[in-house]
Structure 1
Amino acid sequence: MDLGTFDLGLAGWGLFVVYAAGVLTAVDAVMNARTPQGATAWVFALATLPLAALPLYWIFGRFKFEDYLTTLRDFDSEIADGLAKAKEGPLRPFLIRDKRESDGREVGEMRAFDEMATLPFTRGNDVRLLINGDATFEALFEALDAAEDYILTQFYIVHDDDIGRRYKRHLLDAARRGVTVRFMYDTVGCWKLPKAYKRELEDAGVCLCPFTGPRNWLKKLRLNFRNHRKITVVDGRIGFVGGHNVGDEYLGNTEDFPHWRDTHLRVEGPIVQGLQLSFARDWYYGTREELDGLVWAPEAAGADRTALVMSSGPADEIETCGLLYTHAIESAEKRVWIATPYFVPDGRVLGALQLAALRGVDVRVIMPRTSDSVLFKWVPYAYLPEVERAGVKVYLYEPGFMHQKVALVDDDFAIVGTANFDNRSFRLNFETTVVTRDAEICGEVASMLERDIERATRITREDLADKSFAFRFAANATQLLAPVL
């Protein structure tokens, strides 16, 4: 046998297998890619450079998380039946009866929000803004210390630093006094969290669950899908959601980020059951455990605010997060103010912003000048020519990093949650958003954002033109990475 011929044959077969895998994966891209443009790009890459494109596709190329949808199919069927009964039972006094209370336009606006929501608009809620880390963690720890029955808590990032250890102590104290504590974390966001941190919680009786669920080796490559939610529910009566994770940087207590701007919510009323439902679904995916003993009969809060919860993710049948923002922008008559750390809109949302500005709506986008990611140094400028030409005003927050995810539409809707204004949050991450329809809360959010704008600098196309060619090229190139940013 000629050894050279044998080696060539082996190499040839290896090449054949790689290209065959590339072709088969290209078929998957045609069937499952989010857009025709995305499918075209993946097919071209898989057909011409399969050795490089194959691992990239299985990490970044998929836009649907089939595991989650399949796992929760029966669970969601039971939830749908239970929710239908609740709407005729304990939830009924809190549901908004649009046709009796609103004009035709408002009926349509609210119905669209309701159709996308985890729990539709309800009255009887209290919604309190928590501005920055001190207010957020003070309220959160106070609620944890007052827990009597159970705590459900999940974060994308938890650090083993000063605030992370304080958070752990409050969970440990609750578990030791007999409170059932369930703690869920994202494996990507918490990859630095030491095993000793988790082991101490488990030894005290805290139930831990990484957001992974049973996966084979191939599915473990899908790092694109992350649980970006930050939810805490105490006794089914008090809930928290917003931009804060658990880490010293979220208090502005690190050398890299001495000033951190963020917004969270503390909520009471039937809206808490929406947060609880979102957690229960995630917990079932991670553990296959249905949570018993949770409080599902809502109680009216002291305030009477109208609000809903929308939990979105890559298992949704429709892209609810992007549609939520598109609908909110299209419904605006006077103003749309958006505060986001990452502004990477898709064509649909970008068009809605441009059209809103063209019809005379005051459209403002607030972003940080300083970012926690080197790629986002150029992002504020990437879409600047397109939006500024239509009349959108873009502001860069100056004091430090701004991480809040907030939107205000007229005096009608205030939106606060975990979702950034980017493709990852719209399509790839599991997110939770609260929409409040209340003039007083909208006024508080407006005042908050006005203070942020006072500490920001408006930028224009002229500012981009004054930058170097290398900077302008990097800004344009950033848009090419938009699908995975």
Structure 2
Amino acid sequence: MTASVLTACIAVAHLLGLLAAMHAVMHARTPQGAIGWTLGLLLLPYVTLLPYLYLGSSRFLGYRAGHHAPAASTQAGAAGAAPPLDPGCERYAAISALQRRPFRGGHRLRLLIDGEAAFDAMLGAMAAAKHCLLVQFFIIHDDTLGRRLQRVLLERAAAGVRVYVLFDGIGSHALPQRYVDELRAGGVAIHRFATHRWRNRFQLNFRNHRKILVVDGARGFVGGLNVGDEYLGLKPPLAPWRDTQLELAGPAVADLQQLFAADWQWITGAPPPLLASPPTDGEASALVVASGPADPQETGSLFFAAAINAARQRVWLSTPYFVPDHAVRAALQLAVLRGVDVRVLIPARPDHRTVFLASTLHAYAAVRAGIRVFRYQPGFLHQKALLIDRDTAAIGSLNLDSRSFRLNFEVAALAVDHAFAAEVAAMLNADFARARAIDEREYREAPYLHRVAMHVARLFDPLL
């Protein structure tokens, strides 16, 4: 390559870096992100241009956030007086306004602890489907559990049930095309969630991290479990795998259907069938909380901040990735200052080394602020659970990190019900009994280079 060609290539790279830096200044969600990308793109465009192409965008373009208004057809048959709401729902009016839909009363809730109980319930519910199955997971593996799911889906499709399946194209990157083709040949409508439009085409950020199952419009499941043998605790070194799923029946199942329908329509251009969600004899009040990078606000972060700010007695959190942003960190610190019992449960074993290093540094800062942080000892903790006071709990797919706050599509169910909150409290008490409390020595006594690595990892908070 001649000197003139090399000079021209360098000039083009810097010009593209300047244009990308202007885009970063205009569109980055945080000042820190804008500064980091801008400096890199201006000073080292040959290094940062390609990562910015794949990771720089923080807004999912072209997607209509369809989780705010349930379709009218899902409410058919729900005539009559609405079931009463728990008075405690009033404390979460900001979350309801953020979602632009109300809490609904009259739900039956079932807590499903760990993979065996959760998949027995979910596969059993699917096997009993008569009309329609909506199935969505971030990860589906072609292993023993994945093939169990495949058999149930094929059996239901052969029985005349309409079966719709979504999986994330990056999360399920190892899923062989053979698995998908076998389902399609058996009458299952199955698609991978992908950016698929030119404005998002190169982005790795925007993942559909939701786990949703709806059976005949009547029973819904949300939580942290994907489809793979590791979620049954069958793959060391992370085994046993600690996770939680929630089954709900009642009017909020219609909102889960609508969420699935929005994602399905984005990929296929046509909605799946939406069935009426029949009433139940349950008493719990519930709100489906959905978030994603197409939202005009940072819904995930605002959800956690609002829930924590509503607490007066306790805030117990279980999360595999503890990388809170400023708003959530401030809400936790303010809760401590109000005299609230604030506890955070995180893993003792890493599945992603960089996130684990950043989480360790955040845990140190949290302990110094008076937040009690615990490391779960028996295996890997993947559970996403939130307990507020003695009446409120949330189970879903949201982690305490930037990806769940602003980059991934997520879902959770927020339930206000004393009996259900007591179940979640008992579950978390058992988890804390198997955990070790963190003190400041974990950080201070770590080797110097290990502490440096923690601080370096924290620089990547906006991408973790």
> TM-score, normalization: structure 1?
0.91
Q: 1:327 aligns with which of 295, 306, 314?
A: 306
Q: How far is 1:451 from its partner? A: 0.2
Q: How far is 1:225 from its partner? A: 0.8
Instruction: Tell me the percent identity.
Output: 41
Q: Is the 8 A contact 2:141 2:175 kept in 1?
A: yes
Please give the residue correspondences for 1:278-427 in structure 2 after superposition, counting only pairs within 5 Å: 278-292=259-273, 294-295=274-275, 297-427=276-406
Structure-2 separation of matches of 1:118 and 1:401: 35
Range 391-400 or range 117-126, more displaced: 117-126
Tell me the equivalent position of 1:44: 39
| Paired letter, 2:192 | P
| Paired letter, 2:266 | Y
Tell me the equivalent position of 1:183: 165
Q: How far is 1:102 from its partner? A: 4.3
Q: Is the 8 A contact 1:417 1:434 kept in 2?
A: yes
Structure-1 separation of matches of 2:315 and 2:282: 26
1:145 aligns with 2:127: yes
Q: Is the 8 A contact 1:261 1:400 kept in 2?
A: yes
Residues 185-224 of structure 1 deviation map (CA, whole Å, 9 limit, x = unaligned): 10001110011111100000100111115323x7332011
Q: How far is 1:90 from its partner? A: 3.5
Q: Which runs of 5+ in 2 are unaligned?
A: none
Structure-2 separation of matches of 1:390 and 1:203: 57
Tell me the equivalent position of 2:141: 159
Q: Is the 8 A contact 1:156 1:230 kept in 2?
A: yes
Q: Is the 8 A contact 2:127 2:152 kept in 1?
A: yes
Q: How far is 1:290 from its partner? A: 2.2
| Paired letter, 1:248 | D
Q: How far is 1:51 from its partner? A: 1.3
Which structure features the higher share of helix residues?
Answer: 1
Please give the residue correspondences for 1:75-474 in structure 2 after superposition, counting only pairs within 5 Å: 76=66, 80=69, 82=71, 90=78, 93-94=81-82, 102=87, 107=90, 109-117=91-99, 119-212=101-194, 214-216=196-198, 219-292=200-273, 294-295=274-275, 297-474=276-453
Tell me the equivalent position of 2:13: 18
Evaluate the alpha carbon distance shift between residue 352 and residue 427 of structure 1 in structure 2; reply closer, same or farther with a 3 A threshold.
same
Structure-1 separation of matches of 2:100 and 2:423: 25
Deviation beyond 4 Å, 4+ runs, structure 1: 79-83, 85-89
Evaluate the alpha carbon distance shift between residue 377 and residue 426 of structure 1 in structure 2; reply closer, same or farther with a 3 A threshold.
closer
| Paired letter, 2:28 | A
| Paired letter, 1:327 | A
Q: Is the 8 A contact 1:116 1:310 kept in 2?
A: no
Q: Is the 8 A contact 1:118 1:311 kept in 2?
A: no
SS in 2 for 1:94: coil
Q: How far is 1:168 from its partner? A: 0.5
Structure-2 separation of matches of 1:263 and 1:430: 19
Residues 423-471 of structure 1 deviation map (CA, whole Å, 9 limit, x = unaligned): 1111101000110000111100000000000000001112321221122
Evaluate the alpha carbon distance shift between residue 275 and residue 363 of structure 1 in structure 2; reply closer, same or farther with a 3 A threshold.
same
Larger Rg: 1
1:67 aligns with 2:62: yes
Evaluate the alpha carbon distance shift between residue 454 and residue 199 of structure 1 in structure 2; reply closer, same or farther with a 3 A threshold.
same
Evaluate the alpha carbon distance shift between residue 479 and residue 131 of structure 1 in structure 2; reply closer, same or farther with a 3 A threshold.
same
| Paired letter, 2:78 | P
Residues 272-323 of structure 1 deviation map (CA, whole Å, 9 limit, x = unaligned): 111111000000111111224x21x332223111001011100001111110
Q: Is the 8 A contact 2:84 2:106 kept in 1?
A: no
SS in 1 for 2:37: helix
> TM-score, normalization: structure 2?
0.95
Structure-1 separation of matches of 2:122 and 2:429: 26
Q: Is the 8 A contact 1:270 1:300 kept in 2?
A: yes
Evaluate the alpha carbon distance shift between residue 418 and residue 158 of structure 1 in structure 2; reply closer, same or farther with a 3 A threshold.
same
Q: Is the 8 A contact 2:391 2:420 kept in 1?
A: no
Q: 1:30 aligns with which of 17, 25, 35?
A: 25
Q: How far is 1:27 from its partner? A: 1.3
Q: How far is 1:89 from its partner? A: 8.7
Structure-1 separation of matches of 2:289 and 2:99: 4
SS in 2 for 1:67: coil
| Paired letter, 1:280 | A
SS in 1 for 2:102: strand
| Paired letter, 2:263 | D
| Paired letter, 1:237 | A
Q: Is the 8 A contact 2:217 2:253 kept in 1?
A: yes
Q: Which runs of 5+ in 1 are unaligned?
A: none
SS in 2 for 1:120: coil
